[in-house]
Amino acid sequence: MTAAERLIARDDAVIAGVEKLRFFPLAVQSGMGATLLEPGGRELIDLSASWTASGFGHGNAAIADAIARAAIDAPGSSILSASHPAAVTLAEELLALVPSDLPARGRRVYLGHAGTDANDVAIRGCRQATGRPGILAFQNGYHGGLGTAQRVSGVHVSAGVPADPAVTFLPYPDPYRPHTGDPATVVEDVLRLAGAELAQAATAAVIVEPVQSDGGVIVPPQGFLAGLRELCDRHGAYLIIDEVKVGLGRTGRVHGFEHDEVIPDIVTLGKALGGGLPLSATIGPAAVLDAPVASALMTTTGNPISCAAALAVLEIVRAGAATANASERGAQLRGLLVEYADSGRPGAARIGDVRGRGLSIGLELVIDRVSAEPDPVLTAKAVYRAWQLGVVAYPVRGNVIELTPPLTISAEAVEQAASTLMAALDDAARGVVSDEEIAPFQGW
């Protein structure tokens, strides 16, 4: 048994199965930047960044330093019953970072632990503030793994989680797989459905991802978010934009919604915000977030160590280099994959689509390009083989490999990761990985 195998055996004996989304037997001892180290010392390039939570790289020195300093003289662990500077400063800085039509004094920041509670609070607050129950969300969307946030997540509901009683799911505008079959009209087709729903005046809020990540890394065509903005204004519903996965620079802009030049009512952040620690934020109108029912009472809310990490993260975001790198490295990685898709190599014909924004990239694998039939088995084998060859990347929606490396990744690492990924795709298409090897890892 290798050191990694020994750790996985211990993990299997004690960690609850429901918390596992495993695609290959990966165990990690440590990380640095975009590199992960297995217990035996093997290095891998990380194209996931822990599902974007390690967005600014593993062991980021500035963030680690802020955490260490905060831990030494932490003013308690909570902001529930005593104010402390880190949480207040973080809230002030988030209000400055997130654009709004409201003055700062008309807005509030909820600080939570995960994207899930940030979205839960947003939704409950909108319901309370409007007196309306309805939530408009999107098929295959992901907003959380518990409570209301989970019950308005199309991904979970289609997997059997009971839907929230007042949620309506609409198709997300997918230019590769348009719900009506016509990519040219996909935005107006979805907006027409949204308009009809909102016209009934029972909708408290529309919740939407600027790139539908776990739903297959779908980049909506221009005008989608702007159209939702206009409909929300017309019908008195709040627009919640869920930036948990791609916010803080990943798309090549600080906020994913900037690509459509909209100003949301409420923005939720998580994952990368905590610099590796659990932290989330909901930024929105006081009328929504001060409503008592909207508060999620959790003791370590506003935890000063997490807030200190986030202050270091925001400093990195404001400096701009990580966002610019997301744009440049994203273009590099997509360019290499598009070149591969046209190369005639063994795996190339199985690439149906390469898409993305900045360092949020999706590689959709199909049986063949004509039928465009999804190929989740090939996808599972490709990510398994990539791990064997030294790259970590996970599938979403079955047949899409999601590539979300730390925003700090270097051009050399992108080059090396892309060439490893292509070799893995070739091997998977040639049948190098057996069904038995991937059988224990059908997690998602």
Ligand X SMILES: Cc1ncc(COP(=O)(O)O)c(C=O)c1O
Q: Which residues are catalytic?
A: 142
Contact region with ligand X (CB under 6 A), list: 104-112, 209-217, 286-294, 336-344? 209-217
Residue 61 main-chain phi, psi, to 5 deg: -65, -45
Please pick, from the candidates 108, 124, 132, 143, the single residue that binds ligand X as defined by CB under 6 A: 143
SS3 134: strand
b vs e for 70-86, b when ≥16 Cβ sit within 10 Å of the residue's Cβ?
A: beeeeeeebbeeeebeb
As measured in angstroms, the least distance from the Cβ of 425 to ligand X is 25
Residue 157 tokens, joined? 């509901």
Per CB under 6 A, 114 contacts ligand X:
yes
Q: Are 392 and 46 in contact (CB under 8 A)?
A: yes
Size of the site for ligand X (CB under 6 A): 17
Please pick, from the candidates 54, 60, 116, 360, the single residue that binds ligand X as defined by CB under 6 A: 116
Per CB under 6 A, 213 contacts ligand X:
yes
Contact map string, positions 414 to 433, toward ligand X, x by CB under 6 A: --------------------
Contact region with ligand X (CB under 6 A), list: 56-64, 73-81, 114-122, 405-413? 114-122
Per CB under 6 A, 145 contacts ligand X:
yes
Report the sign of the C-alpha dihedral through residues 260, 261, 267, 272, in that order. positive
Strand partners, 32: 35
Please pick, from the candidates 25, 31, 134, 270, the single residue that binds ligand X as defined by CB under 6 A: 270
As measured in angstroms, the least distance from the Cβ of 397 to ligand X is 12
As measured in angstroms, the least distance from the Cβ of 210 to ligand X is 9
Instruction: Tell me whether residue 118 or residue 423 sits nearer to ligand X (CB atom).
Output: 118
Per CB under 6 A, 142 contacts ligand X:
yes
Contact region with ligand X (CB under 6 A), list: 67-75, 208-216, 316-324, 345-353? 208-216
Interacting residues of 353 by C-beta distance below 8 A, sequence separation 6+: 176, 362, 363, 364
Q: Give the residue among 98, 89, 88, 86 at the shortest CA–CA distance from 122.
A: 98
Q: Are 37 and 69 in contact (CB under 8 A)?
A: no
Contact region with ligand X (CB under 6 A), list: 115-123, 223-231, 316-324, 345-353? 115-123
Interacting residues of 400 by C-beta distance below 8 A, sequence separation 6+: 216, 217, 362, 363, 364, 365, 379
Please pick, from the candidates 46, 174, 209, 426, the single residue that binds ligand X as defined by CB under 6 A: 209
Burial (CB count <10 Å: 0-12, 13-18, 19+), residue 16: exposed
Please pick, from the candidates 214, 353, 364, 426, the single residue that binds ligand X as defined by CB under 6 A: 214
Burial (CB count <10 Å: 0-12, 13-18, 19+), residue 33: buried
Q: Are 77 and 303 in contact (CB under 8 A)?
A: yes
Q: What is the spatial distance between Cα 374 and Cα 368, in angstroms, rounded to a whole number? A: 9
Residue 186 tokens, joined? 């996909």
Contact map string, positions 33 to 62, toward ligand X, x by CB under 6 A: ------------------x-----------
As measured in angstroms, the least distance from the Cβ of 386 to ligand X is 21
As measured in angstroms, the least distance from the Cβ of 51 to ligand X is 6
Contact map string, positions 227 to 266, toward ligand X, x by CB under 6 A: ---------------x-xx---------------------
Q: What is the spatial distance between Cα 197 and Cα 241, in angstroms, rounded to a whole number? A: 18
Instruction: Tell me whether residue 25 or residue 115 sits nearer to ligand X (CB atom).
Output: 115
Cite the DSSP H helix spans in 109-246: 115-130, 147-151, 154-158, 186-198, 224-235
Query: Residue with CB nearest ligand X?
Result: 115
Residues that bind ligand X (CB under 6 A): 51, 114-116, 119, 142-145, 209, 213-214, 242, 244-245, 270-271
